[in-house]
Structure 1
Amino acid sequence: MNKAKITKFLKENVKATPVNQEKIERYINLLDIYYQLDKAIKKDGVTVTTENGAQKFTKVHPAISEKNKINASLLNIEKSFGFDESPTVILERRELL
């Protein structure tokens, strides 16, 4: 992730209001957390094994559900920016990530 590019893109394409500036900061913060969770999943794998006394069980990495929640929040913030959903804008956003 190139945080500087994304921040620059958002500041150039979102109306400069105190509320939008807060949304941009929140968006960048959520992106940081999203990619930290991604690193944890890559390090630990998509499943984790838990040992509780004599019991041992494997479950889905808890970071996966957290990533889904953060992704939903990111999408909601993006919608609030009012971007035109043309293929060009979508492509530009994908190139930033």
Structure 2
Amino acid sequence: MRDRQARGKNPYKELETDDIRLGRGVKTEPFEDRERRGFALSVLDNPEQLMMYAQSMGDSVPGQRLRFMAMLCGFEEKKHGHGHGHGHAGKERDKGRR
């Protein structure tokens, strides 16, 4: 009992019902998601870079801040084959001009 208590475990819990068992991996996020969130954090941390993305996408700074915040929180839809989504809004905007 003292052994479990010293390791920060519940001393009254049965040993057979432990949550951690051999062969069970800890759920981790994919590398791409971590990279995407790191990229979004670096853009949000640098105002000049945020303004650069806003200007290149033809969007406002608050609009791009919302986009990168969604990317940071994991709410962004993943677009395959578009990298970080550059140029996608411009293509949609050009469709309406034709």
TM-score strictly above 0.5 = no
Q: Which has the larger share of helix?
A: 1
Rg bigger for which structure?
2
Q: Could you tell me the TM-score, scaled by structure 1's length?
A: 0.30
Q: Could you tell me the TM-score, scaled by structure 2's length?
A: 0.29
Q: Which has the larger share of strand?
A: 1
